[in-house]
Amino acid sequence: MGSRLPASGSRLSPPRAIAWEFTWRHRWGFLAVGVYLAVLAAIKLVIVVRNVPVAFDSEESFALAVVVPITVSFVYLLAVFTYGLSGDLAARQSMYPARMFTLPLSNAALVDWPMLYGTTALVGLWILTRWLSVWPTEFSIPYVWPATLAAALVMWTQALVWMPYGLAGMRVIVSVVVLWVIDAIVLLALHFKAAEWVIVAITAPQIPVAYAIGRVAVARARRGVVPQWRLPSLASLLSRVAPARGEQIEQVEHSSAGRAQSWYEWRCSGKSLAVWVAIILPLELVLLWAAGTSTTLVIVIVLGALVTPVIVAAFAGVSASSMGGSGSARDGYGLSPFIAARPLTDAQLLSAKLRMTIRSTLFAWVIVLLAIPLALYSSGTWQTLRDWSRNVAAIIGVPRTVVLLGVVVAGMMLSTWRQLVQSLHFGLSGNPRLIKGSVFVSLVLASLLGPLAIWIVDTDRVGVVWSVMPVILALLVLAKMLAAGLVAARLVRERPLGDRALIAGALCWTSAVVALFALLAWLADTPHIPRYLVMLLAILSVPLARLSAAPLALARNRHR
């Protein structure tokens, strides 16, 4: 934990000043990591004192207890020491804070101290976890290679995040690819049961390489080098193919203020979901070529591809919901005066945002629905999927099979849109802590859900979960309706929307829930699934409370 700056008279050295900034600014996060380690220590102390043999019922149970929290702590510390929590990850400019370039420090000092602190923190996290955690007796826990891997990962991430790039978004792609390659090499070595010194020999040499690249990155950023690579725009490509059409795109006219604002929203953040889906999807679908005739593998890969927009939307939703626009708001999150001073009502601003989310969802799904059949056909796995669907049709009938497939796709599309809009109230609030906190919670949930599901399946707890499912769903519905009631009361009191909009919204929501219930009840026409359970699911599926809170958040942000 850090402390406040010393009183005037005493003076901090530059390395201590840099360390102070890290510790003081992120004191609450460091405190949370410290509490986690203290809890680990306390558990270990109790177990050691009582001399209880340590055994987990599965590797997944152990993962839930230790690996997930340590992963969350690792990601958090990585974000802190790369300066990744402030700045735009997708920007071409270096994320190293420009204010530090004017300090009377050499490039070496600017790189050395943050890299040293980052490496110390992450290696320290591993050492403490290794020492304090209650490791199952059947596990052989290595000492050194995770530490060298942690050091290599943090230094590579720092170097890549601080590097200026020629294209927007390239930082994310380069970082993901480089870190994935490092992880893959280590995982391969583990798969082939390589000795610890072999993995150390793979990871340790990367430390000086990452350091050298970090030095180059900061030197370039300090000189103001930001390469600008130009990709041909859609309009210029079209103008080459069909000059008249290209010209039309360049000269886009807005017939109304609402359409102009929709265009603005689309240009600001509408394309990011589709771009990310287009980057990730080929990496997933390429696995179809390795699936052979395995029906399970083909279905898992296709389902994975269908889930991709939903997962990407959970992260894209935060940037899509921000009203700042690129480089326009002071803190990057608050409503910029340029947008706040548009002669539009709050409802019109929100409506433009919602239109953008619908368009963004459709655009991403056009890519998915074109890419999957294309990949199935090219990889020769189309036949496998067709045979499977014929088998399903033989069991539940052709109409239900067609509707089921339609519902799966439509449900995924709805979920994608839902992910985009349910963080609207965070983004529109303009509160950086709330926005960053929601991203962090999304990351934590994303890293927890997979292991949790595997744990439930592997430990034969599916029956238990199924039996308590009505209670869980009922509690979730109760929480949702309570929140919606509170939001509705504020909407009526503060009047960010007119009566007609409120009534239309309520009618739309009710109609969507009833329609979804009717469809699901028809699809799942079995005595094993009670109707009330279907109704609870339908209520939970259609966004209400958080979407209704968006106008309040926008009004508060716009008229603080």
Partner 1 sequence: MADSVIRIDNLTRRFGSRTALDSVSLSLPRGAVYGLVGANGAGKTTLIRHILGLLAAESGAVRVFGLDPVADPVGVLSRIGYLSEENDLPGWMRVDELIRYSRAFYPKWDDAYAEELRVAFALDGSTRIKTLSKGQKARAGLLVALAHRPELLVLDEPSSGLDPIVRRDILGAVIRTIAHDGRTVLFSSHLLDEVEEVADHVTMINSGRIVLSAPLDEIKSSHRLGGQVPSLDEIFHRRIASTIT
For residue 256, the tally of other CB atoms under 10 A from its CB is 9
* Helix (DSSP H) and strand (DSSP E) numbers for the chain: 25, 0
Q: Least Å distance between CB 348 and partner 1? A: 8
Distance separating alpha carbons of residues 391 and 376, to the nearest angstrom? 18
Q: Which is nearer to partner 1, 261 or 384 (CB)?
A: 261
Specify the stretch interacting with partner 1 by CB under 8 A; choose among 56-64, 113-121, 264-272, 385-393: 264-272
Provide, rounded to whole angstroms, the least separation between the CB of residue 498 and partner 1: 12
For partner 1, which is the closer residue by CB, 214 or 496? 496
Angstrom distance (rounded) from CA 395 to CA 287: 29
User: In which element (H, E) is residue 509 found?
Assistant: helix 499-523
x/- track of binding to partner 1 for residues 286-315 (CB under 8 A): ------------------------------
**Sequence-distant (≥ 6) Cβ neighbours of residue 50 within 8 angstroms:** none
Among 16, 245, 390, 559, binds partner 1 (CB under 8 A): 559
Enumerate residues 6+ apart whose C-beta is below 8 A from 530: 470
Scan for tokens 């680990």, then name that residue. 40
Q: How many CB atoms lie within 10 A of CB 227?
A: 11
* Contact call for residue 371 and partner 1 (CB under 8 A): no
Other beta carbons within 10 angstroms of residue 6's beta carbon come to 11
Residue with tokens 């593998």: 297
Tell me which of 268, 313, 420, 421 binds partner 1, using CB under 8 A.
Answer: 268
Residues 323-352 that bind partner 1 (CB under 8 A): 325-330, 336-338, 340-346, 348
Query: In 70-120, which ranges are E strands?
Result: none
Query: Smallest distance from the beta carbon of 239 to partner 1, in angstroms?
Result: 13
**Smallest distance, Å, CB 236 to partner 1?**
12
Instruction: State the residue for tokens 């130009």.
Output: 230
Is residue 275 near partner 1 by the rule CB under 8 A?
no
Closest CA relative to residue 272, chosen from 233, 313, 235, 236: 313
Q: How many residues bind partner 1 (CB under 8 A)?
A: 33
Q: Per CB under 8 A, which of residues 203..262 are in contact with partner 1?
A: 251-257, 259-260
Residue 115 φ/ψ, nearest 5 degrees: -70, -40
What's the rounded Cα separation, in Å, for the pair 115 and 312? 30
In the complex with partner 1, the residue whose CB is nearer, 155 or 340, is 340
Q: Find the shortest distance in angstroms from Cβ 457 to partner 1.
A: 46
In the complex with partner 1, the residue whose CB is nearer, 25 or 342, is 342
Q: How far is the CB of 117 from partner 1 (least distance, A)?
A: 32
Give 312 or 344: the residue with its C-beta nearer to partner 1. Answer: 344
Site residues for partner 1 per CB under 8 A: 251-257, 259-260, 263-264, 267-268, 325-330, 336-338, 340-346, 348, 558-560
